[in-house]
Amino acid sequence: MRIFSGIQPTGRKHLGNYIGAITQYVAGQDRGDAIYCVVDLHAITVAYEPTVLREAVYDTAATLLAAGLDPQRCIFFRQGDVQEHSELCWLLSAVTSFGELNRMTQFKDKAGAQRDLVSAGLFFYPVLQAADVLAYRAHEVPVGEDQRQHIELMRDAAERFNARFGETLVVPEARIPTVGARIMDLQAPDRKMSTTGGTPQGTVLVLDEPKTIAKKIRSSVTDSGSEVRRGPDKAGISNLIDILAAVRGISPEEVEGEFDAAGYGAFKQAVADAVIDYLAPVRERYHELRADEPELERIMQAGAAKARAIATETLADVRRAMGVGPVRPRG
């Protein structure tokens, strides 16, 4: 069983990324052949600075390694180092529907947030994402809830490819956690916590100091009631319940039961304490790992060599099936 996922080096990663995606990456190493990459080519679809991007790749890499990705047990690399992703993106454009791309809610949200250029790359983003996954013939893609629509699109592209050019690609499945798949912004609990689109006070960063985490959680927006239970009119409290459930590895019902009689103040404090304990070891390891850039670079280069070996085979099959380039005997 092969697992693939990518994470953007845009800004600092947050609690939503950690709960929704990163913990699943770590667990995936025990469940199958896991392949993960830092998707620098996706980060260029919004306004960015080249020097900042290069640094942010190291920040994200160190965060993932601190969280428990082990280069001995997974393939870990930087997307831009494996050029096959870009070529496959273009080849897959032949089997990607414009109408479907046009319905992607992430594009609509992010396009609306751009101050000047809305790049074509932002629109084409899901095709590159499809290439990322399909290049490795991955069976499973661990992601948060917001990526469901993109996974559907890549499944459609793979099915269309196989129907049109012959059985070549694996149609992947999304793996979305049951609790914590959509952590909301603490200040705007109708929006997902986001690296690029959230409020600073409403976004708990993996690397935040304990004091900062406590402050953000204690000042999170809640309703005017006092009951610790989930409900459509209780977005803020529902979010905190999900966070505590995910961090403790229990169900939201258990959290509701435990804090039945507690007020919001005590509940928020308990969430803050749990999140602080949860992230502290990651932050400590991060600083050690981040200090050694040559080592991070070495790890990602070694990973890229392994990734390339898989992706070049897929690319050769795709080109052959599509009639691109000369006929070459298989193998």
What is the contact surface with ligand ATP in residues (CB under 6 A)? 7-8, 10, 16-17, 19-21, 143-144, 146-147, 181-183, 192-197
In the complex with ligand ATP, the residue whose CB is nearer, 91 or 134, is 134
Alpha-carbon distance values, 105 to 82, 109, 173, 187, 198 (Å):
28, 6, 20, 22, 16
Strand ranges in the chain using DSSP code E only, listed in sequence order: 2-7, 33-38, 74-78, 140-142, 173-175
Contact 69, 18 (CB under 8 A): no
Least separation in angstroms between residue 197's CB and ligand ATP is: 5
- Residue in the shown chain whose Cβ atom is closest to ligand ATP: 20
Least separation in angstroms between residue 195's CB and ligand ATP is: 4
In the complex with ligand ATP, the residue whose CB is nearer, 43 or 315, is 43
Least separation in angstroms between residue 237's CB and ligand ATP is: 17
Contact 45, 128 (CB under 8 A): no
Q: Judging by DSSP bridges, how do beta strands 2-7 and 33-38 pair with one another?
A: parallel
Pairwise CA distance, residues 209 & 216, whole Å:
11
Least separation in angstroms between residue 10's CB and ligand ATP is: 5
Alpha-carbon distance values, 213 to 70, 277, 279 (Å):
27, 11, 10
Contact 20, 180 (CB under 8 A): yes
Q: In what order do the strands lie in the sheet with 2-7?
A: 74-78, 33-38, 2-7, 140-142, 173-175
Least separation in angstroms between residue 60's CB and ligand ATP is: 8
The phi, psi pair for 84, rounded to 5°, reads: -60, -30
| Dihedral in degrees, nearest 10, Cα atoms 300, 302, 303, 306 | 160
Which residues in 244-259 are b (16+ Cβ under 10 Å) and which e? Answer: bbbbbeeebeebbeeb
In the complex with ligand ATP, the residue whose CB is nearer, 230 or 320, is 230
In the complex with ligand ATP, the residue whose CB is nearer, 47 or 305, is 47
In the complex with ligand ATP, the residue whose CB is nearer, 8 or 222, is 8
Least separation in angstroms between residue 88's CB and ligand ATP is: 20
In the complex with ligand ATP, the residue whose CB is nearer, 173 or 292, is 173
Residue 211: both structure tokens together: 């004091």
Least separation in angstroms between residue 187's CB and ligand ATP is: 13
In the complex with ligand ATP, the residue whose CB is nearer, 48 or 273, is 48
Least separation in angstroms between residue 312's CB and ligand ATP is: 26
In the complex with ligand ATP, the residue whose CB is nearer, 5 or 320, is 5
